Amino acid sequence: MPAPKALRFPPGKTLPEELCTAMKRIEAYGVVYPAGYYRALLEKYTREGVRYPHILMILGQPRISNHFFYSRALKRTGRLLDYGCGTGDNVRQLIRDGFPRERITAFDINRASIDLGFDLYRDKEEIGDLFIVSEAFPFGPAEFDLVYSASVLHVIADEGELGTYLVNAYSALRPGGVLFGSTLGLVEGAARSPDERGPPRVMPREELTAHLNGAGFIRPEIVQRYHVPHHVADNSDTMCVFEFCTKKPA
């Protein structure tokens, strides 16, 4: 599959600054960069672009840790799929928190963000085997106890593709398994405002619930969180983060 087009950085944000800040955050985890590494990465990503600038802007701040279901997820004993894993920030946090690496699989349809993660964390040799990239969903039925989906639903513009994504998540879960994750959403009562820089799908709570139920999931719990604006044109009055957790019937 050809690499999707890189998106532009939002107003007031630049690649040199965001790359430097992300590297500083990741150094706090003990990663050491050799001399000239920043310059080499800057040249690479100036040339190739960054597919999801927002993901670089929050790289090193894994969202999974704050999820309301996370402490329960850590206690489960089955396999976990990070579906649409991007850079793999959340996978690394799971490992740091003691979730056994042999029970983690990270999957994405695109390699670009995964490679960005390896470039910044410099750990491809240690955890490269956990990542799978493929255009088609490669997992059979009932392989996982948990599916985690962070910031994926809001990047899927196409209705059919969203349906397929959720049906895949449902099918990959064993009966009683849990889908949890987060997506940008629309604050109650706010009108949708088209924003060419914004995410392609910003759903109100009822629409998210309907999509989850439509795929077969039951009793979705949805918690609304404040959407921290990442730049001057980012709208936290109308946008929020919905954290969700829902079950495949046992």
Ligand X SMILES: C[S@@+](CC[C@H](N)C(=O)[O-])C[C@H]1O[C@@H](n2cnc3c(N)ncnc32)[C@H](O)[C@@H]1O
Specify the residue for token string 């402490």.
Answer: 71
Rule CB under 6 A: choose which of 120, 130, 156, 222 binds ligand X: 156
- For residues 33-61, b (16+ Cβ closer than 10 Å) or e, as one string? eeeeeeeebeeebeeebbbbbbbbbbbbe
| Site for ligand X contains 132 (CB under 6 A) | no
| Site for ligand X contains 70 (CB under 6 A) | no
Rule CB under 6 A: choose which of 26, 85, 130, 178 binds ligand X: 85
Rule CB under 6 A: choose which of 89, 145, 234, 243 binds ligand X: 89
The helix/strand/coil state of 75 is: helix
**Beta-carbon count within 10 A of 62 CB:** 21
Q: Between 164 and 203, how does the x/- string for binding to ligand X read (CB under 6 A)?
A: -x--------------------------------------
> Interface residues for ligand X in 11-40 (CB under 6 A)?
none
> Interface residues for ligand X in 204-233 (CB under 6 A)?
none
Q: Cβ(241)–Cβ(226) under 8 Å? A: yes
Rounded to a whole number of angstroms, the minimum distance from the CB of residue 115 to ligand X is 11
- What is the rounded (10 degree) CA torsion for 210, 214, 219, 221? -50
| Site for ligand X contains 152 (CB under 6 A) | yes
Q: Rounded distance, CA 171 to CA 216, Å?
A: 10
| Site for ligand X contains 80 (CB under 6 A) | no
Q: What are phi and psi of 172, to 5 degrees?
A: -70, -20
| Site for ligand X contains 151 (CB under 6 A) | yes
Looking at beta carbons only, is 105 or 113 nearer to ligand X? Answer: 113
Rule CB under 6 A: choose which of 87, 105, 183, 246 binds ligand X: 87
Looking at beta carbons only, is 9 or 52 nearer to ligand X? Answer: 52
| Site for ligand X contains 55 (CB under 6 A) | yes
Which residue in 195, 176, 177 sits closest to 239, CA to CA? 195
Alpha helices in the chain (DSSP H): 15-27, 37-48, 53-58, 70-75, 89-96, 112-121, 124-127, 159-172, 205-214
Rounded to a whole number of angstroms, the minimum distance from the CB of residue 65 to ligand X is 12
The DSSP bridge partners found for residue 204 are 186
Q: What are phi and psi of 185, to 5 degrees?
A: -140, 175
Q: Between 90 and 129, how does the x/- string for binding to ligand X read (CB under 6 A)?
A: x-----------------xxx--x----------------
Looking at beta carbons only, is 82 or 145 nearer to ligand X? Answer: 82
Which residues are at the interface with ligand X (CB under 6 A)?
A: 52, 55, 63, 83-87, 89-90, 108-110, 113, 150-152, 155-156, 161, 165
